[in-house]
Amino acid sequence: SAAEKGGYDYFMLKEIAEQPKAVADTLLGRIDASGSLTLDEVRIPVSVLREVDKVVIVACGTAYHAGMIAKLAIEHWTRIPCETELASEFRYRDPILDQRTLVVAISQSGETMDTLMALRHAREQGAKVLAICNTNGSTIPRESDAVLYTHAGPEVAVASTKAFLTQLVACYLVALYLGQVRGTKWGDEIQAVIRELSDIAAAVDTVLETMEPVRELARSLAEKNTVLFLGRHVGYPVALEGALKLKELAYMHAEGFAAGELKHGPIALIEKDLPVVVVVPSPRGRSVLHDKIVSNIQEIRARGARTIVIAEEGDEAVVPYADHLIRIPATPTLLQPLVATVPLQVFACELATARGNEVDQPRNLAKSVTVE
C-alpha cells in the first residue's frame, strides 16, 4: 500500500531515501566515547581474532560487491590476506581453510542458499564464520559463530540499496575492529576513519539532495541498449554494482569493467554515443590512480563515448572530458563507495520507470534466492 511505501511510488525509492538513517543505525552503539569500536556482539574471542591468518569473504550479487570492497579495506587496515569469492563458486574448488581462517558471510536476507552452503562448508573445515546480515534470526546468522547485524530495517524491493550501504559500513567496522584488536600500525588512521564514518550519513544525504539531474539524464537514455561502467580500486566494485542494478531494473545490457582492463579488450566496444559511466577516485591521496582514470576517460571520449563522470567535489581535472558530471562529497578513499553508489541506484531506478518496468519486482527475480 501507499502507506507502507511512506508516500513513495516504490519501495526502492523509499529504501534509497532511508540510506542516511540506515547507515547511522549500523554505526549506532558500536563506537564508544573514546572513538574505539565496541563490537561485543562479535562473540569470536579476541584471542582467536588475533590468530587469524586469512580472511575469506563469501556472498552473492550485491553483497558480493560489498565483499570486494571489504577485501580492500581489510587488507589495507589489517594486513591480513583476504579473498572475496562468489558463494556459488566457493565450495566447489576445495578451498584452503583451517582454524585460523575467518570466513565472513554477507547476506541481506540471511537465507541465500549459495551463501549458506558456503558457510557450512567453511565450518566443516574448522573455520570461524562471522555473518554480516540484515535479517534477525535468519538461517545464516543462526548457523554462524557470530553475527554483526546491519540494522538497515526491512528491505522490500528486490534490488538491494540500503542493505548494500549498510553491508559496507559493517564490513568497514569488521576491518577496523580486526585492526584494533590486533594493534596494527595503522592505529591513527583507524581512529580517523572511525570519526569519518560518523560523518558519512550526512554525505549520503547531500548526494540524495542533488539527484534531479541524474534522473533527467536517466530519462534521456531510456532508448539506449547498452551502458558501460568503469572504475578502479574501490570504484571497480561500484561499477559492477551500477551495472547489476541496471540489468535487474532496466533490463539493459550493462557491464562493469576495471578501467585498466579497457585496453585489453573492452575498448573495442566503444562507439559513438555509447553511454559510459566512470567512477573517479579522489584526486587526493592516491593521485596516481586518479590520473590514470582521467586518461581512460580521454581515451573513450576520443572514440565517441558519451561520458558520465562521477567525481569528487572540487575535482577539476575531469571537467573537460565529462559530458555529464555527477558530483559526490569528498570522503576517505576506501569510504567513497558509500557516496558513489547512490547516484547509480537512482539512475537505474529512473531508467526502469522510464522504460515502464516494474521497479520493486523485476521479472524473473526473487528477493531471496533459497535454491542453489
Pick one of 119, 127, 152, 159: the residue that binds ligand AGP (CB under 6 A).
Answer: 159
Candidate residues 82, 158, 289, 293; the one interacting with ligand AGP per rule CB under 6 A: 158
Shortest spacing between CB 174 and ligand AGP, in angstroms: 16
Among 78, 101, 108, 336, binds ligand AGP (CB under 6 A): 108
* CA 246 – CA 267 distance, rounded (Å): 20
Which uninterrupted H or E stretch holds 85? Answer: strand 82-86
What are the distances in angstroms from CA 22 to CA 67, 111, 130, 204, 319? 19, 21, 21, 11, 32
Residue 147's closest CA among 113, 117, 107, 182?
A: 107
**CB nearer ligand AGP, residue 62 or residue 180:** 62
Question: Total number of residues binding ligand AGP (CB under 6 A)?
Answer: 15
Q: Which three cell numbers stand for residue 173?
A: 567496522
41 contacts 147 by C-beta, under 8 angstroms: yes
Least Å distance between CB 23 and ligand AGP? 17
Cβ neighbours of 316 (radius 10 Å) = 8
Query: Which range in 1-9, 104-112, 227-235, 340-348 contacts ligand AGP by CB under 6 A?
Result: 104-112
Query: 136 CB contacts (<8 Å, ≥6 apart)?
Result: 149
The amino acid at residue 106 is I
**Per CB under 6 A, does 344 bind ligand AGP?**
no
338 lines the binding site for ligand AGP (CB under 6 A):
no
- Residue 192 makes CB contacts below 8 A (sequence gap 6+) with 332
166 binds ligand AGP (CB under 6 A): no
Stretch that binds ligand AGP, among 57-65, 143-151, 228-236, 282-290 (CB under 6 A): 57-65
Quick one: 78 or 108, whose CB is closer to ligand AGP?
108
CB of residue 287 vs ligand AGP: minimum separation in angstroms?
33
Copy the grid coordinates of residue 48: 582467536
Taking CB under 6 A as the rule, does residue 109 contact ligand AGP? yes
Positions in 232-251 near ligand AGP (CB under 6 A):
248
Nearer to ligand AGP, 248 or 350 (CB): 248
Using rule CB under 6 A, residue 113 touches ligand AGP? no
Binding test (CB under 6 A) with ligand AGP, winner from 84, 88, 115, 307: 115
From the list 26, 62, 336, 345, which residue makes contact with ligand AGP (rule: CB under 6 A)? 62
Separation of alpha carbons 367 and 161, rounded Å: 12
Q: Which is nearer to ligand AGP, 61 or 329 (CB)?
A: 61
Q: C-alpha distances in angstroms, 170 versus 100, 194, 288? A: 21, 12, 29
- Footprint (CB under 6 A) of ligand AGP, residues 293-322: none
Interface stretch with ligand AGP, choices 46-54, 58-66, 90-98, 281-289 (CB under 6 A): 58-66
282 makes contact with ligand AGP (CB under 6 A): no
Beta bridge partners of residue 31, listed in sequence order: 37
- Whole-angstrom distance, CA of residue 42 vs CA of residue 30: 11
Q: Is 367 a catalytic residue?
A: yes
Decide: is 107 part of the binding site for ligand AGP (CB under 6 A): yes
Distance CA 235, CA 365 (A): 26
**Of 315, 313, 276, which Cα lies nearest the Cα of 297?**
276
Nearer of residues 62 and 282 to ligand AGP, judged by Cβ = 62
CA gap 10, 29 in Å, rounded: 31
Residue number of the CB atom closest to ligand AGP: 61
Contact 240, 266 (CB under 8 A): no
* Residues lying near ligand AGP in the complex (CB under 6 A): 60-63, 107-109, 112, 115, 158-160, 248, 368-369
Residues designated catalytic: 367
